[in-house]
Structure 1
Amino acid sequence: MQVQARFCMNRYRARMDFTLQQLRGFVAVAEELHYGRAAQRLNLTQPPLTRQIQALERMLDVRLFDRLGRGVRLTAAGGVFLEHARRVLALLEVAPEATRRAADGTTGTLRIAFTAIGAYAVLADFLALVGKGTPGVTAELTELVSPEQFEALANLDIDLGLVRPPIPEKFESMLVHSEDLVLAVPDSHPLAFGEGPVSLADVTADYIGYSPEGSQYLHDICAAMIGMDRYAVSQLASQVPTMLALVRAGLGCALIPRSITAMRVEGIRYRELDAADAHSVTLHACWSPDNPNPALRRLAERLREE
């Protein structure tokens, strides 16, 4: 039984072993509906072209043309085969150029990760840069906190991350965004009123802080700004929407990157900080030098130019 199955499979493979020359000959005859004109189009004499079509019909075990006097007509099977033959030839025509474009990074896929906070700050502009510099490249997006991004970069599970420092020395990186922190307060808080900058010394409410597991960088900066004694007893959250929900509920104030103010949350006011208290936070594009993706190399060059 197994011998018979192998024999049938080998016979099937042999029947399917047609050549590009046969496909081009078939398409020419199908479009001209005349062997003589098709042969002239292919710079052939008619007998070799006729033999090509006959060999193709034997391989497929179907009749592709009906002979009509001096011309031919496609059979139903021939019409179906014509669609597939054209598709195969079209793919083969573009394959060399597509291969070259993939090799030089003008096409392909970039797997990009970002933090939830970073998405508000820079993701839209960054994707616009990707689209401008490499319009043939598709971006696949994943939301990950920075430590998870570093692990994914090391494992080559992603190509590029938008991360907060500190950045491990084994990665290459580039600053892509810097912004100040502002103070988010409940609209019932005394500091919610007024237009000028406020001082952290005037904040008498509790703080909503960043979890060190998910946002070590922002956790450390805010703890240094506020003072570890006060920050150590603050409520911690790993996601900005959670922090803002706690602020809105009147449970405290929060230091957030300015880009987050784009989230117009009812019940919250955003206040600028005095120059003495002001502090900026940064976001970096980060990638592994061991990543072989040509699209990544091309984007890195674009980032350096920008």
Structure 2
Amino acid sequence: MEYSLAQLRGFVAVADELHFGRAAGRLQMTQPPLTRQIQALERSIGVRLLDRDREVRLTPAGAAFLVDARRLLALAEAAPESARRAAAGEVGTLRLGFTAIGAYAVLGPMLSLIHDQLPGVEVDLQELVSEEQFNALGSGRLDLCLVRPPVPDGLSALPVHAEELVLAAPVAHELAAGDEPVRLVDVSADYIGYSPEGSRYLYDVCAALIAVQDFLGAEIASQFPTMLALVRAGRGVALIPRSCTAMRIDGVVYRELDAADTRTVRLEACWNPQSQDPVLARVLPLLSEDCFSAGVLSARRRPGPRSRRGRRSAAPR
């Protein structure tokens, strides 16, 4: 079954006018070629669309076909504009990776930003640890990631969030009480640490804060929910990014750290600079213009993207 857009336009014109002469004039053509178009269309689909005995009328088949013919013509007219918008990155899909902890800090504002600025773009969310995100960027399975540093060579990154660590303690723990900031020197051997395999960045930051004997003997967790579950169970205390305190858990108290022990941890947007994806090209400038809500990006303008040479999220990084 083959028919052309010209045949569909001819049929719709005749169906509207119910007169071959007027339809031909509307299409700026003579009547004989229009008649041949309709005859060829009817042969192609194998049914009569128009009754021409005394006056032109739609047959039942023609009335049904008219609905789809209009839809096909509308799609054909819209297709070039859709292609232009896709090429410009105004429509399409952004495959976005994120870590569990990163979701608390940045994911919500980022999704709102993309929805507001690029309403034709859909976001496909994939929760992965940072190492898996880096691999997915290299293989082209992700377009943009929210990760903890360091970013491997071959990928580009832009800082999007910085926040301080706070202490999570069981409600019955001695460090849970009081109004004064907690000194890490008071953290004993019940410290719960991050896994060096699944959360290398936070592992390294905390290694510089906790006494060596306590750090080396610590119970470790790869997933942030697991860590807080251990805290709630009374297994010990843990250092977590401030944004994660949004997760209110019965039996867990969050305490500020002493100024001397305060450390800031970063989250970065990361992508493959070799990507030719037009949606990514439209999203990246948004991330460099302080478009996130207050507290996610600093009030001053962030530095531009940096490049490095070379190469979903259930766990923190």
TM-score by length of 1: 0.91
Greater relative contact order structure (CA < 8 Å, 6+ sep): 2
Contact 2:161 2:267 in 1 (8 A): yes
Contact 2:192 2:238 in 1 (8 A): yes
Deviations 1:43-64 (A, max 9, x none): 2232221121111112222111
Q: How do residues 220-299 of structure 1 correspond to structure 2 at under 5 angstroms?
A: 220-299=204-283
Structure 2: which amino acid aligns with 1:49? Answer: L
Measured after TM superposition, the shift of residue 203 of structure 1 is 2.0
Contact 1:205 1:253 in 2 (8 A): no
1:127 to 2:92 alignment: no
Query: Aligned equivalents of 2:212 and 2:84: distance in 1?
Result: 56
1:36 to 2:26 alignment: no
Match of 2:12 in 1: 27
Q: How do residues 1-306 of structure 1 correspond to structure 2 at under 5 angstroms?
A: 16-69=1-54, 71-204=55-188, 206-306=190-290
Deviations 1:72-102 (A, max 9, x none): 2222221232222212111111111111111
Structure 1: which amino acid aligns with 2:6? Answer: Q
Structure 1: which amino acid aligns with 2:229? Answer: A
Structure (1 or 2) with the larger CA radius of gyration: 1
Structure 1: which amino acid aligns with 2:47? Answer: V
Which structure shows the bigger proportion of residues in helix conformation?
Answer: 1
Query: Aligned equivalents of 1:108 and 1:289: distance in 2?
Result: 19
Deviations 1:181-209 (A, max 9, x none): 00000110122112231111122351111
Query: Aligned equivalents of 2:280 and 2:212: distance in 1?
Result: 40
Deviations 1:13-64 (A, max 9, x none): xxx3322111100011122222222222212232221121111112222111
Contact 1:247 1:268 in 2 (8 A): yes
Q: Which moved more, 1:74-83 or 1:264-273?
A: 74-83
Contact 2:189 2:217 in 1 (8 A): no
Query: Aligned equivalents of 2:98 and 2:128: distance in 1?
Result: 6
Give the number of aligned pairs.
290
Query: Aligned equivalents of 1:241 and 1:294: distance in 2?
Result: 36
Q: Which moved more, 1:177-186 or 1:202-211?
A: 202-211
Where do 5+ consecutive residues of structure 2 fail to align?
291-317
Q: Percent identity?
A: 61
Structure 1: which amino acid aligns with 2:135? Answer: E
Measured after TM superposition, the shift of residue 68 of structure 1 is 5.0
Query: Aligned equivalents of 1:198 and 1:290: distance in 2?
Result: 46
Q: Which moved more, 1:90-99 or 1:60-69?
A: 60-69
Q: Which moved more, 1:32-41 or 1:210-219?
A: 32-41
Query: Aligned equivalents of 2:215 and 2:58: distance in 1?
Result: 81
| Secondary structure of the structure 2 residue equivalent to 1:226 | coil
Structure 2: which amino acid aligns with 1:187? Answer: V
Structure 1: which amino acid aligns with 2:82? Answer: A
Contact 1:117 1:260 in 2 (8 A): yes
C-alpha RMSD of the superposition: 1.3
